């Protein structure tokens, strides 16, 4: 799902039980595409296996 389509958004929203009024999937898809583009930026960055998500974040 590199660039989510309106159909992708409608399927994901249905799986979550999130109703979308007619015509709104396009805008949601645009925002989701932006977030997934961000995700590619950090997902492609190699992290060693011992880097854990902080269970209780502290700076």
Partner 1 sequence: MSVSANLSAVAIVDAVRARRTSAREVVTGALERIERHDRILNCFTRVLSKIAIADADRTDRIIATGGDPGPLAGVPFAVKNLFDVAGVTTVAGSRIHAERPPATRDATAVAALRRAGAVLVGCLNMDEYAFGFTTENTHYGPTRNPHDLSRIAGGSSGGSAAAVAAGLVPLSLGSDTNGSIRVPAALCGVFGLKPTYGRVSRSGVVLFAGSLDHVGPLARSVRDLALAFDAVQGPDAADPVCANRPAEPTAPALDQGMASLRVAVAGGHFAQLAEPAAFAAVERVARALGASRRVTIPEVQRARAAASVITSTEGAFYHLDDLKRRAKDFDPMTRDRFRAGALVPAAVYLRAQRFRAWFTERAREVFRDVDVLVAPTTPYPAPPIGAPRTTIVDDVEVVTRGHLGVFTQPWSFVGLPVLSVPITGLAGAGPLPLGVQLIGAPFMEVHLLRTAARLEAEGVVAAPTAPERR
Q: Which residues bind partner 1 (CB under 8 A)?
A: 4, 9, 12-13, 16-21, 24, 27-32, 34-36, 38-39, 41-43, 45, 47, 51-54, 56-59
* CB hemisphere CA count around 11 (13 angstroms): 6
With contact defined as beta carbons under 8 Å apart, do 33 and 56 qualify?
no
- How far apart are CB 55 and partner 1 at their closest, in Å? 9
- How far apart are CB 41 and partner 1 at their closest, in Å? 4
- How far apart are CB 3 and partner 1 at their closest, in Å? 13
Phi-psi region of 53 (alpha: psi -120 to 50; beta: other; left: phi over 0): beta
């Amino acid at each position: 799902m590199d660039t989510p389509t309106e159909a992708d958004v409608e399927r994901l929203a249905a799986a979550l039980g999130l109703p979308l009024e007619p015509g709104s999937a396009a805008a949601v898809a645009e925002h989701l595409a932006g977030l997934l583009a961000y995700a590619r930026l950090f997902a492609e960055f190699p992290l060693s296996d011992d880097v854990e998500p902080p269970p209780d974040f502290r700076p």
